[in-house]
Amino acid sequence: MARYIKKFARVGHSLGPSEERGFAMWVGYDIDGVSADLDHLGLVRVDGWSEDALRERGVTSFVQVSRHNEELRQKLGLTGERNDAG
pLDDT tens figures, 37-82: 999 999 999 999 999 999 999 999 999 999 999 999 999 999 865 5
pLDDT higher at 53 or 86:
53
The three-class DSSP label of residue 66 is: coil
Q: Encode 22-44 in three state secondary structure.
A: EEEEEEEEEECCCCCCCHHHCEE
AA letter at 31: I
Chain center to CA of 35: 14
pLDDT tens figures, 3-49: 999 998 875 655 555 555 667 889 999 999 998 999 999 999 999 99
86 falls in which pLDDT band (50, 70, 90)?
very low
In whole angstroms, what is the distance from residue 43 CA to residue 18 CA?
32
